[in-house]
Copies of this chain bind each other. A is one copy, B any other.
Amino acid sequence: MRAAPTQEEVRRHNLGTLLRYIHIHGATSRAELTTRLGLNRSTIGALTADLTAAGLVTEKKEAPLRTGRAGRPSLVVRPESSRVYAYSLTIEVDSLHAARIGLGGRILDRREAPRPRGMQVGDAVQPLASFVHEMRADVPPGSRYVGAGLAIAGMVRRADGMVRLAPTIGWVDEPVGDALVEEIGDVGPMFVANIADVSAMVEHTRGAAAGRDNVIYLYGDVGVGAGIIVGGQRITGHGGYGGEVGHMVVNPDGQPCSCGSRGCWETEIGEYPLLRLAGRGDRSGREAVLAVVDAAMRGDWVAQQAVRQVGEWLGLGVGNLVNIFNPEAVIFGGTLRDVYLVAAAQIRSRLNEVALPACRDEIRLRTPELGRDAALIGAAELAFERLLADPLG
């Protein structure tokens, strides 16, 4: 139930909608904004003037964009990517990343360090904080900071960003965001989310699933998680822990899983089974997985058999998810991207056996368009969200 919104509420809503459009789609002519947003020219002009005055966008007369036709110059609105920024941090299984991301999703600066397996929380917080300090020193004068986001390969409690469990990282109930805020200093609140969830949102808004409202983004490293978009919304369940598809039991007689169960999907498609099948059980890490994929592409028979077997299980589990969600697109992210590239035939074939025709008949299997950057851009989105909800607030 609601009372009628005031003119001011409508204006703020429209400012947010316009800024979000520019943030997602980049430079756009006023004429195109008029069409896309269904508002008249004078309203678009007034909104753009407000956003320009707030230093969030710029306007310039330019030759027509995107049309390829000659024509008279049009006013083009661009996000102030180099001035308005967020800090973005990610903790992956084998690496730590930090970036400064401009409005519009542009990576302005970035840092990266390896993360040895078994590294404790405190030991990850310090290098990430140092990266922020380094990047901060280079921020041009007059820039506007909007906030910070962290994406992590673990289960994040929605209410407060607590990392409940990061089995492949080895942490339980760690307030990683709070620790980072304390170490960095003067950074404001740190928004925390699961890496598959934020990657899914970015591929949904700007990447391989742009325009598709029902999407499953699989993220693989040691384990497997999913970011799930249903009806255009990211779904994470009651406490924020949904999407743990890696712990869907697909082989009850299979291997024990780190979670204490047996035959979880990730015991068949994660890093360890792939390396073991390839006769490389003594190795670990992303590079070792990519080496198996490379060997398979070069014709190494053992590596090929390993990748094919993983592909069979990957197709089976994706088939299960397709029956449950009837999605338009499944995106293979993390190391599953590379597995998909060499095992697409096995995956598709097994998927077709498992998924009902009605559930799969419009499905597209895709690799990420933004690659590993999706996680960094997605973590920044957590911070940009407040700005986009109320640009002048």
Chain A positions near chain B (C-beta within 8 angstroms): 1-7, 10, 13-14, 17-18, 37-39, 155, 157, 164-165, 213-214, 226, 228, 230-231, 233, 235-245, 247-253, 259-261, 316, 319-321, 323-328, 353-359, 361-362
Contact = CB atoms under 8 A, between A and B. Distances in A.
A297 B164 CA distance: 40
A228 B6 CA distance: 36
Contact of A359 (B3, B242, B319): B242
Given A259-B356, A261-B354, A353-B260, A362 B238 contact: yes
A242 B326 contact: yes
Given A4-B4, A247-B323, A247-B354, A235 B231 contact: yes
Contact of A233 (B38, B231, B250, B323): B231
Given A231-B233, A319-B249, A356-B155, A239 B326 contact: yes
Most buried by B among A18, A37, A354: A354
Contact of A1 (B38, B164, B245, B355): B38
A358 B241 contact: yes
A243 B230 CA distance: 12
19 contacts: A1-B17, A1-B38, A1-B39, A3-B10, A4-B5, A4-B7, A157-B358, A165-B357, A214-B237, A228-B324, A238-B327, A238-B362, A241-B359, A242-B323, A244-B323, A247-B320, A248-B323, A249-B320, A252-B316
A158 B132 CA distance: 48
Contacts of A249: 250, 316, 319-320, 354
Contacts of A6: 4
Nearest to A230: B235
Given A1-B17, A38-B1, A252-B251, A323 B245 contact: yes
A353 B354 CA distance: 25
Copies of the polypeptide in the assembly: 2
Contacts of A248: 248, 320, 323-324
Given A237-B326, A242-B326, A249-B320, 20 more contacts: A1-B18, A3-B10, A4-B4, A4-B10, A155-B359, A230-B237, A231-B233, A235-B325, A238-B327, A239-B326, A239-B361, A241-B356, A241-B359, A244-B326, A245-B324, A248-B248, A248-B320, A249-B250, A249-B316, A250-B252
B1 A37 contact: yes
Nearest to A312: B252
Contacts of A316: 249, 252
B2 A237 contact: no
Contacts of A14: 1-2
Contacts of A236: 326
Nearest to A16: B1
Contact of A10 (B2, B238, B325): B2
Contact of A239 (B230, B247, B358): B358
A228 B214 CA distance: 15
A359 B359 CA distance: 26
A326 B197 CA distance: 14
A326 B4 contact: no
A239 B323 contact: no
A242 B363 CA distance: 13
Closest 5 CB pairs of A and B: A237-B326, A242-B326, A244-B323, A1-B37, A248-B320
Given A247-B354, A324-B244, A238 B213 contact: yes
